Structure 1
């Protein structure tokens, strides 16, 4: 689910049409497996089974509900969609901005129990190796300073200036890719027009957190990137609370 992974066709469409907030959030949260196993444990909690894990998820955070509403729920289900209100996040993350004009800074996320091979890809994403080594679709990458921050924007040439990866440091082809992905990579971002933000534009960024063998893939706006590490900790703490 990489925002920076849009191809030429999508990049062209982005030049011709405004991206509505709902389409950005809903479209990027599309997942291949929609079946999951969950049963109502209490009136305000769903008991959700993902792979080998079981979570008791408060209904206020669920974007899917209970699997008792579905038939054919499958024991191999590995993802579940969540949403955290901006107010809940701000209560635990200092300096988290809850609004941008009329846009509410809720965090939408997908809780994932990856397979072994998928887990390895999250720990060392192949496209980040391409960024670091200036290979593949990043052979002719465009690199810019991030205005007002000490970060870098790295674009595929075909996606410039609408989609980019956010890095903490300049990629070095002659140096090995850092083992800890989060030590140099922050997020992938996509910009578009929005009628409800103060500027008339919106930048949505995708990132994720790793909690042992669980992945929390999430979406955050650019104005809250400064506190993304605290957001990761917030999400991981929630997941830990919900584990059986």
Structure 2
């Protein structure tokens, strides 16, 4: 029987192909991305990630299976430490630190938080792209990156790390377990939100490439 994750990835695959071919992501891979664009991304990611980990903690409080809940507590705790170290390694000065979320960051975090009103299976599926897309992008870039002097090597290494892959695989497995017991309507909603949040990942990097700001 086909797993939910196989169906979800197939539905989101066209979006992922656009992500991996984005100029921002290609610039990360070959080190040609401007510092201005990267710092725009990192600054916004530092704001996004705070909301994201709150969503992970909220999911942990909703999950009925104690092992699933423990995994999500772990994702939040471990992720905070890793992301904080990564962001602080780049956000070295006050000028680098963001004043406010961009429209893309505001939209993505709002979409995630809105899933607190959906079935927990849907909320879990909403956070999966931040695991899976980053793991796939990190792995792809790592294999393509041959320059040890790439200024973004720390970022690449973080998301290509086997520990992050293990967390990603566990998150996928939890989604599959939840989907197996879910109604057809809930499974469809899981796929829809997974695809939407994969699009949000594309939008986030596109926002950084274009140095997005509020127009008003």
What TM bracket, shorter-length normalisation?
Answer: under 0.3
Please identify the structure whose Cα radius of gyration is greater.
Answer: 1
Q: Which has the higher contact order (CA 8 A, sep 6+)?
A: 2
Q: TM-score, normalised by structure 1?
A: 0.25
Which one has a larger percent strand, Structure 1 or Structure 2?
1
Q: TM-score, normalised by structure 2?
A: 0.27
